[in-house]
Structure 1
Amino acid sequence: MRKTGSNISHNNNSNEIRGGEKKVMKKSLSVILSTTMALSAFTSVALAATSSTDFSDLKDLSAADKVIFDQLIKDGIFLGTGDGKFGINEPMKRSQFAVAISKALKYTADATTSSFADVNADAPELPYIEAAYKNGVANGNPTTPPTFSPADNVSREQLAIFLVGAMGPQYKAEAEKATGNDATVTSWAQGYVATAVKYKLMDGAATGFDGKTPATRYMLAKGVDATLKAIAEANKPAVATKVESVSATNLKEVVVKFDGPVDKETATDKINYSLKSGKQIDVVTLSEDGTTATLRVVNTLANNKTEAVNVSNVKAGDTTLNVKNVEFTVSDNEIPEVVEVKSLGTKSLKVVFSEPVNNPAQANFMIDGKAFFGKVKAVGSEREVILTPFSSSTLTVGDHNVTVTGVKDYANFSSLRSSHDFTVVEDKEAPTVESAEGTLEKITITYSKEVDEDSIDAAKVYWKSGNDKKKASSFKVIAGNQYEYYFAGDNALPTGSVVLYVEGVKDYSGNAIAKDTTVVVTPTIDQTRPEVKKVEGVTTKQVKVTFSKGLKDDENLKNVKNYTITNGDDKVLSVKSAKLDDTVKANNVIIIDLYQELTVGANSIVIKNVRDNTKLQNTMLDFSGEFKVADEKSPKLAGHLVNTKDRIVTIQFNKKMDIETLGNYSNYTVTMNDKRVPLTSEMADINVLQDGKVVVITFAETYKDKDVVFGTGSLTTKYVVSDISVLSVKDAAGNLLAEFLDPASKANILDVSKNINVDLKDYDSDYAGFAAALVDQQTIKVKFNASITDVKKGAFTVLDGNTDVTGSVDVDGSNVVTINLTKKIGTNPKNLKVTVDTGLLLTVSGQLQGKELTPKILGLVAPVVKGTADYEVKGQDIIVPFSDDLFFDVKYENIIKKNEMKVVRDIDGHKLTVDEFSIALDTADNSKLVITLKDASDRKEGSYYSVEFLGSQYLTDTLDAENGVAATAARDTATKVGFVSEKSIKITGATTIQVPTTGKVVTETYKAVVKDQSGNQDNVVALDLTGKPASADPTGVTFDKTTGVLTVNTNATPGEYVLTGTSVGITSATLKINVTKEGVKVSSIDVTGPASIELPLTGDVTPAPKYVAVVKDQFGKEITSGNDAIVVWTVNKGTINPTTGELTVSSTTPEGTYTVTATSFGTKEVVGTKEVTVKKAASVASTITVTGDTAVTMPNPAADQKMNFKAVVKDQYGVEIKNNAVYSLKAAVAGVDINPLTGEVTIKTTVADGAKFTVVATSSTVSSVTAESAVVTVTVVAP
């Protein structure tokens, strides 16, 4: 065989394989793909082919193969052989191989001359052969001149070499070293074939690889597909580096595809994802390969709308993925379809849909052609629907069929009617724990099979600390066999491996997990710090901060000192409060309320010390950032000045305006000579100043040859301007002027008929009459009705009493002027007087007529603790002096003590509770706060105390603004607070008791002793039960004063019970005991009704025997309403009405013992039964018949004759009763006797010829049951 130009030589010289033709072995994956696909590339008949259905010889492909071939054909690489066939079993030629490679790799194929002697210049494949050759993919034969052998076939072993080469150099190197012993493979190809089989690029066989057999187009297609997958797997990142795609094909799920595996713990934490629309995420699941996260939303997505997802803190190896605003389109345009039906034993059935479904109901299902009657429940992702029939006979072992119709998805598309066969097999295998993993706070358990959610109880999954069970607090369904269990607070799992106990879990056949089931879990420790994900200005006085994870609701979170918010004017705003948003279950959102307003636009925030709610309580790193407050308020006029002499109108706004609208003449009209006319450029000039806050309109001296003056009325020789109207001017955010939007008020019409000078304006609209404000202890701000551009010396004077404290004056062009005082004057402006000479103020209208103004001063400085000395102690009181008189409403005392101040006892670092101190103002001096300590009973020796103020809302000064006390660092008392020996009663015992269930009693023992702070114990304490709920059953909870034993019975009324301890000379003490009662659930069902039923002679027993169920809760009380009170009746044999409990018994009903069952499917499945005996009634004679001969002949010679009569007695059911007849003659006949017991008649020889007699048979038990024989005639034969 001659050599070809391929890298695979036809002789067996392995050196040639590894020589100069080695380049072909380096071809890429795409090369192989192209090679596989590009056959008969120039066949015009096949150009229209788009899928396997276009070729007659592909109709028998398997479903898996069809997917492969459809893609190759769709991509235009396989085009068929031109006769409507694909040529699936035809060999591939070298020329076709070259064409396919070049097309798939998108090589430039424009050559017009050939490098090979056997490839003609007019051959359509020439450009592709040249492209493959020049790119080192396909070589020719080393002949002179070179040839390509375009018509040669490729063998299976050559294909194996091609495919391994496509995998890359490392795989080819592996093949070169590999060995094999397949007799069907040439020796030089053994390593390549072995490698191809190893990586599943081609299939081997027990009988050999058949390496020399020509490779068909089918083999090429399959080989290329396998190689693609192998290369994709090999090239897949070890961990994800990015979000590859995001999609949503239904309205409940968003699918985030990563380009590699991600960490399961962080990838399934819903806090690490957010949607642009604000839709809440309920749960996140991760695919088995770790590359795809499915986000299930709480409500629904908006169909056919653009959405975006943010991903943060998802770990992938050493990398953390943070991706913002990945957009995708929500598109649910498909109806839900059934994709799987699975039997869950003889009690339930699982129907799986192609997408989550919305509230499936009984009416959507039929089983075996009959309407379904039972429970319907969508579980997990809501793709799985569990059907549990009420009747136990619905899902018997064997073949069945379910029909599904009209099930809706969340886009309101309904499924079409479809029918599905399934086989029920009895399930006796109990579920087991397949795996358990998670963090200290959350464990995900995967069971070996679907388990019944109704059997899941979070409290039955626990770990042990000594003898204490540390139970899960709640759970969430992830899938039919997967549940998340949450361990809160002190029940969080310890670090390291721990044994987890799992109890009570059942499958849908009622098989329970083994009682001793345990699983060893090694929870990961969450060391990720909480991070700020988003800051939003909700209103001008409220900020919402969203964190990356759940937060600990502690003092750090609530401490207003941990939040510094600065508005756009660089003013630090006082924080009123910080708290968790209780509407967000994830506990990751903080709401911050402020005393002052944020500025529209950019504001800044600094947050520190906030901790997450994991066991480690990871603390955030300090965060600083900006956030914006949307401007949604309409701008308002802030005032105007009028200079009639120079015809200048200055109009001021309360915010920056849109300069274009301010300068637009069409936004103004004027009243000129009593007529309203538009303002024009011929009338006036418009100048916008102060970055859009002020507009100055200067009228011309003359207009249309007449002088322009300001005033009222109309003149023929002049134009008199009396007012100007401001129309549709807008602020920078596009909001229209408020006065323009309220035309009825006419507030946008400004009088210009007379001079309007500078005057005072309220500094804060909430405090009328105050035009000035003391904003700190050395600064006063004064507000005017117009912008002040400059001030002259002496314009402002500030006196503190009789002392002039006027310092420098700052003007920024706004209508607020800042006066810096020469000294700090304290927090109360009561001794201050400000005087303003307006004649020394300059505005954009110039210097106007002056007058003296004395603005009233608003105090806005928070009262502070005076001085730096430690706090004075008087007995049990700590005296704190403030800079101003204070005030607080006593109803807020506990709030102040809890949230706005902190008192700490130094000897043990104990922070006093709200009950351990009180606050009051010194009656003689309201600037002093008196803290009275009430912790003496717990103070074991004298101690210093420290007092810290955290910033106050409710402890304020007495000024109009009611400024809250400023935050002050902790300061100690000057002396110790002395030790006071105090004795108190200590009562110990359980403070929470749960009402026991039926047949049980709970007892708790309580003890009370008298102790002082040092633990010395004396005195006798009497304990008694002194308080209970008003409606309490007196026998429900009892207390033995002698033993201290409290007994709680089943009939106990839940509520608060109080034990009181008393001792002579000592204040009594109480202990509140909360008696709780778990929610009512079905515990038992009592069934009453006939225990024995007699069969009727015919038809049915009427009225039908009826059974009554009394459903009782765990406390033995009847449940009379709700789903729990509804039972379904069944019977193991025969028929019973499932609703009424009426049992059908007929004359044909077999005798025997029947079990009548009442089942409640409410909170859980509970049954009650009654055994019923069905039998016939006691046998009673009902009919009788008598038979015998009708004639007797007396012989000659004469002799007595015997006749036998037989009576048959039957009962009401037609059953013969033996030995129940008594015989007699209807009338005495001479010579005839009868045996009353046997019915034997003796006819004696003395009887007369022709005598007649009748035998009567009567029941021996029922005399009314009687019968007569036929008349017997006696014939006597003459001698």
Structure 2
Amino acid sequence: MSNTSYSIKENSHAIVNQGGEKKVMKKILSVALSTAMAFSMFASVAFGADAKLTPEQQFNALKEAGIVSGFPDGLSHLEQALTRAELAKIIVNSLSLEPVSGVATYKDKGYSANHWAAPYIEAATQAKILEGSNGLFRPSDKVTVQELAKVLATALKLEVPADANNTASAWAKGYVAAAVEKGFIPEGINYQAQATRSQAVVAAHAIYEANQVPTVKSFKVVDPKNVEVTMSNGEVVKVALEKALEANKETEIKFTYQGKEYTTKVTYVTTVAQKVASVKAENLKEIIVTFDGTVDKASAGDEDNYSIDGKSFDKATVSEDKTSVTLLLSNSTASTLVNQKQTEISLKNIKNEDSTKTFTQKVQFTPIDVTAPTVKEVVDLGTKAVKVKFSEPVREADALSSINYRIDDKAVAASVKYAYPDTVIISTTLAEGEHTLRVSGVADFSGLSVAPVENKFTTVVDTAAPEIKSIEADDLTKVTVEFNETIKSVSSAYANASSRKADKIVINDNKVTLTFKEGDRLIQGENTITLTGVSDYSGNSADREGKVTPVLDTTRPTVTNVDFDKVGVNFVAKIQFSESLKDSTAINKDNYKLVDADGKVASIPGVDSNGHPVRTIGYNETDKTVTIDFGPKFDKKYTLQISEVEDDAYIGNEILPYSVVLDPAGTEEGKISRVWLETVPGTVNGKYVYVEFNSAIATTGAGSALDSAKYSFDDAATTGTVERTRLTNKAENVEPFSTNTVRIYSEDVNLSVGDELFADYIANVDGEYLTDGDYTLNATINARNTVVTTSGDVEATGTDSLKLKFNSALNYVSAREFAVVYDHDGNTVTDATYNPSDYSLSDDGKTLTLKFADGNKLPSSFAVGSLKVQTVGGATTQTRDTFGNVVNINTAVVDKIAPEVTGDMVVAAIGANQYTATFNVTEALTNKVGSAYINSLFSVKVVDAGGNDVDVTINSVTAGSTLVVTFTTTKEIGGVDTPYTINAADFVKVSLDSNPGAITDGANNSLKTFGQSRR
């Protein structure tokens, strides 16, 4: 980089730059904001791509912009040497600095505030771009080429190389090299010679042009995929990103504004979670999932969003800072972790706090329980019971055994109650005063027992019945009452009237939860909750009453996850919601509609004419999941629209309309996409076998694709039963070649093209085994020049375009290596050959669109099989995939060219007030549905010369070699519809407003919509 401060002494004066004040540099940053951006467009202005303008023409452009002026004789005199005064004016005007008037800081003879160059000299001085020496500026002194280079390089912050080698003075070599590279001065001249006005003009023109480009002023990250960029002219550019920004990381983005590409760096600053930071278990019943930021409490606190094979969870507790979740496994042997054994937990549908990211992933962790439980606290419950809380979950059998507890070093004849996971209540009579509790034999779920340490506590006589501390109600069905002490029992509970009893009473320490059935729900206003026989462990009992106004559930349900997969041969969607649903709305078929990309009802047997599912919809209340079976026919991407589904709140909350794309391609079973063979140069029998899978593969663990023992082949030369032969015996000969491909080295002489290759127990990167009915995948081995094939139909989407989808990403394409041949009658004579002029390739490299120019366009219609696309280079074809495999195809083209109207509309009278509008079309058409429906798709507008609308009735639409719309015109005169004759000055417009497959060509392509008018 260039230095931010410099000073050169040459011919008793200096040219310097040390920063500059804002008042005179208001726009210099706009020029220097992005050297890469500005000079990617203008680097070669002087001597490269934009050398169309001569220096004289550039001078005239600058003169018109007021940056330079000619001599009194009207000429530019570009051949003359450049003076310091002229340089000052050029620099100030080129950088849009404000001239400084009324000031003269130098003492040169004849120099004053009235000097023609004084405003420019003073502005350049204040900006620290130019500076005098010993109080003199010397306006008439000549500037050398290398001095000009240094001023340009520093003012525009050009990259200045440290090792430049040219004929400039030692101090100037780097600056000259920078200016030469950007095209501001020519290479190989005498850099120590006086600079000409021509050289200054060429550089100034490039600077001026660059300064016309708006620059990036600031940015705002709306969300990880959307950024708003404010330009220097005040306009805001909304940039939608294909790839979401990583949190708290500076990222370079590109966008186009006013036809120019910009690059800037942005940072998405957030404290919400972006990843799972850790998963750990320090005992065998609790798992702590920690995130790197805050999470959504509702989804993170839903235990159904976590799973471990064969185990279940009791609850998920989100920490107060919302950065971690503690999962409590159920109290059963089956739901106990195994100490020091790697375990995998699945997380799904967990959102971060601003819902910009949803965590659906698997995380491996190893439980490590090496710490024995301890007594965390001992709390007296009066003189008849004591509560013991442990530091971690303990086993129920140990906790319930009274012999494991000694009070004042005496065995206790006590009743022990266990509350999973870590609490026991010992009921025994105790005297007032201090006591000592010793616990032994109580073990955690790894078998580590509590150390027999004494714990002191003090008992006090309790003569007061429990009192209510707080009471809360949730949506008319659930009431939680918190008391001031641990509750032993509650006789009954009801709301408002004794007849509206609680269906369930659950006691958990000092909290009592009441659940009410449908017919006994609370009212929406204030309720009186009565609990009878509320008893503590001292035998104190009383009826307690409290008032509560329920907080209604007003949160709409949302879709948290959609799985679309094949179950057997049927395509099944499983939609999980954020909360429990009202059954009647969850299974109502009318609430689900399947449509295509154009919004039309899907044409598959699994839905009716309105797009609603025809099979019974299932709803699982436990995991809040709706299951829709669409049957075996699901031919392409469709959109499932979900609406009017309600949660099970007393006053149901309805989901906002939600849409999700269901893609059958994503339901594809695991398989080997392709296998090809390549001879290894320099070996006798060495062969590389490339095996490409249809998903990214595991390279570690049990499902690793790098295990040579998993690969075998069946020699195609043999007959009869399959005889699988190990492909290699050397594990080191299997290596990853890409995320979904391995390369295997083999010297087996029997291995050849045409053999069948097998791969057993291969897993994807998520650890799920790839299966295609079983765990053995197979594919035929191809040669390199036959392995790249088209995937699906090759479609002519227009007379100027042909779309090919390949089974592999292409790395290099040559359009001239493709040809489309046409043979209309199937004989050996080719009717025509069409050669593409250009192409485009999709981002994933798998979809190639060949383009055809005027005079060489494809036919607008053709019979099935009559049009084929071929590669013409054979094995030498340069169009290849990312692995270097040759594209070699000869594939029939499917007609997907939509017919369209051509030429001008012809309106003709066929009766007194009856007319036809006739249109030429690119190919013959057919009406596919009834005339009434087709008529409704068209509109005809007639306006008379006075600007009055004429009533029009469409009588018929005839589709064939032409398209003919017949219509009648009338006009209301004196309250009576009267036939109207169209005049030459009248406006007539005929439009096809929509066409959902009603008028098509022979290949069932819909006629394009149109609108034509005449006056």
Asked if Structure 1 and Structure 2 have the same fold, meaning a TM-score greater than 0.5 normalized by the shorter chain, the answer is no
Larger radius of gyration: 1
> Which one scores higher on RCO, CA 8 angstroms, separation ≥ 6?
2
Q: TM-score normalised by the shorter chain: which range applies?
A: 0.3 to 0.5
Length-normalised TM-score, structure 2: 0.36
